[in-house]
């Protein structure tokens, strides 16, 4: 899938650990159908990606008044021959790379930045780099002109939408129409609290051979971390060529969390893991129960949090105290083999989640 699996290698001498080395390897087959990952935790999923995840669906939301939409034309706070920037108050707090923002600076040159920034960058560069605004979101950073730039808050769906409508590429004078959608984190919650971001391309022509084509991606405030989909007509190995009627979703990579409450059984009552891990065809999940417990379950989830397999179900009878193990053969509830990738298995006891572990399937 392109995800990175992290391993710890312990080096011992006479039973004493002298060094721990950490390394990563990619999971599965990496190709254009895989999501694009970053060290921080955001991932980019394209509408044309295929795999064990939910890809976005292109669904254009027209907001430009001149095209029949209900949006507001952007007021320019600062403009030169290189373009213009308008600063807009966001209708909700938006967390991006761990920082809360209540304003967005929108530039005519196909990018926006979180916060109050008036500097204009018409000559695009790669991501990450020290050139460009801080906390940048770049659906199509290039020198483009003569279009309509507008914004709109969809209160019912809790979306803030920015649209570049019928802009002209300065290299070949072809049209560019695209939009960015920010999801209100209060209504579209993520484990990290960072907000979801969607790029949509109605008509796109990445043809600026004279000035490094366009830059597409996201970048943090320090400009040392981000996801680059394309720059200078170079595409990430997991990215598809920009095309009309396509979408890219940037979303934090999440792992199921452990739920804790005052009545929960002590974590000391259960110890479990799986071996081998990573595994190819099957793996054994082992755990110990220090007393008889009702309603004990082990459930396997995929990387999107969707249930794959109910591995253990002890709802009718008590699970006796002692050691237990169960084998997962890499199949879902229907008996179909699942794809290579990262999976999570969760122990649930007495209606309360007590522990979560990660396993890696390599086919």
For residues 351 and 108, what is the distance between their CA atoms, to the nearest angstrom? 53
Tell me the percentage of the chain whose pLDDT exceeds 90. 54
Place of tokens 């060290």: 39
**Sign of dihedral through CA atoms 128, 205, 161, 186?**
negative
How high does pLDDT run on average in the chain? 85
Question: pLDDT band for position 269 (50/70/90)?
Answer: very low
Residue 256 has pLDDT above 50, yes or no: no
Top pLDDT among 60 and 306 is at: 60
Domain layout of the chain by residue ranges: 1-29, 36-252, 267-361
Average pLDDT over residues 221-227: 94
pLDDT for residue 346: 84
Which of 284, 362, 360 minimizes the C-alpha distance to 329? 284
In terms of average pLDDT, the best of 15-24, 93-102, 277-286, 342-351 is 93-102
Calculate mean pLDDT across residues 217-233: 96
Q: Give the H or E element holding residue 163.
A: strand 159-169
Q: Does domain 267-361 have CATH number 2.60.120.10?
A: no
The residue-averaged pLDDT of 78-98 equals 94
Distance CA 195, CA 96 (A): 6
Q: What is the pLDDT of residues 210-221, one digit of tens each?
A: 889 999 999 999
Give CA–CA dist 357/299, Å, rounded.
11
* pLDDT per position as a tens digit, 31-73: 677 888 887 779 999 999 987 778 999 999 999 999 999 999 9
For 79-97, what is the mean pLDDT? 94
Instruction: Report the range of poorest mean pLDDT among 43-47, 92-96, 323-327.
Output: 323-327
CA distances from 143 to 69, 123, 218, 349 (A): 25, 7, 18, 58
For residue 18, what are its two tokens?
């002298």
Q: Could you tell me which residue, 296 or 179, shows the higher pLDDT?
A: 179
At 286, the pLDDT band (50, 70, 90 cuts) reads confident
pLDDT of residue 267: 40
Segment 144-199, tens digit of pLDDT: 999 999 999 999 999 999 999 999 998 888 999 999 999 999 999 888 899 999 99
């Amino acid at each position: 899938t392109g995800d990175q699996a992290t391993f710890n290698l312990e080096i011992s001498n006479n039973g004493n650990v002298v060094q721990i080395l950490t390394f990563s390897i990619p999971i599965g087959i990496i190709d254009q159908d895989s999501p694009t990952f970053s060290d921080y935790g955001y991932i980019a999923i394209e509408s044309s990606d295929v795999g064990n995840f939910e890809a976005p669906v292109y669904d254009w939301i027209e907001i430009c008044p001149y095209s029949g939409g209900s949006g507001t034309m952007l007021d320019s706070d600062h403009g030169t021959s290189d373009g213009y920037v308008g600063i807009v108050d966001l209708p909700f707090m938006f967390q991006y790379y761990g920082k809360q923002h209540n304003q967005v600076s929108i530039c005519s040159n196909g990018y926006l930045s979180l916060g109050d920034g008036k500097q204009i960058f018409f000559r695009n560069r790669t991501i990450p780099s020290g050139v460009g605004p801080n906390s940048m979101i770049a659906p199509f950073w290039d020198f483009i002109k003569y279009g309509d730039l507008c914004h709109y808050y969809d209160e019912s769906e809790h979306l803030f939408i920015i649209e570049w409508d019928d802009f002209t590429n300065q290299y070949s004078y072809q049209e560019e129409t695209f939009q960015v959608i920010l999801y209100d984190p209060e209504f579209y919650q993520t484990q990290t609290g960072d907000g979801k971001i969607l790029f949509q391309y109605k008509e796109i022509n990445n043809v600026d051979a004279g000035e490094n084509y366009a830059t597409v991606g996201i970048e943090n405030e320090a400009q040392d971390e981000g996801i680059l989909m394309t720059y200078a007509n170079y595409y990430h190995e997991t990215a598809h060529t920009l095309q009309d009627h396509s979408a890219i979703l940037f979303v934090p990579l999440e792992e199921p969390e452990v739920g804790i409450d005052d009545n929960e059984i002590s974590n000391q009552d259960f110890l479990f893991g799986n071996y081998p891990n990573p595994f190819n065809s099957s793996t054994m999940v082992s755990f110990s129960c220090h007393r008889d417990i009702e309603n004990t379950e082990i459930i396997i989830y995929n990387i999107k949090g969707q249930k794959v397999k109910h591995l253990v179900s002890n709802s009718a009878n008590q699970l006796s105290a002692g050691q237990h193990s169960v084998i997962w053969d890499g199949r879902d509830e229907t008996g179909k083999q699942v794809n290579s990738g990262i999976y999570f298995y969760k122990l649930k006891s007495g209606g309360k989640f007590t522990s979560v572990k990660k396993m890696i399937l390599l086919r």
